[in-house]
Chains A and B, each alone.
Chain A
Amino acid sequence: MNTARTLATARRVLAQLRHDPRTLALLLVVPCLLLTLLRYMYDDQPLVFDRIGAALLGIFPLIVMFLVTSVAMLRERTTGTLERLLTMPLGKADLLLGYALAFGAVALVQAALASVLTLGLLGLDVAGPTWLLFAVALGDGLLGMALGLLVSAFARTEFQAVQFLPAVILPQLLLCGLFVPRSAMAAPLRWASDVLPLSYAVDAMDHLAAGPDITGALVRDLVVIGGCVLLALALGAATLRRRTA
Chain B
Amino acid sequence: MAKKKAKVAPRIEKGKGLDVGTAFIVCAEQHGEKIAFRTQRDAFFDIEHSDFTKQMLINSKVNYIEKDDSLYVVGNEAMEFANIFHAELRRPLRRGVISPSEKEALPMVELIIRGVAGKPAYKGETIYFSTPGPALDADFDMVYHQKTLEGMLTRLGYTPKTINEGLAVVFSELAKEGFTGMGLSFGSGMVNACLSYMSVPILAFCVTKAGDWIDQQVAAAVGETASRVCAIKESSLDLTKRDGLSRIEAALSIYHDNLIEYVLAHIMREFERSEKAPRMDKPIVIVLSGGSTMPKGFLQRFNDVLAQTKFPLGVGEVRMASQALYSVAKGALIAATADEAEK
A and B, one complex?
no
Interface residues of A (CB under 8 A from B): none
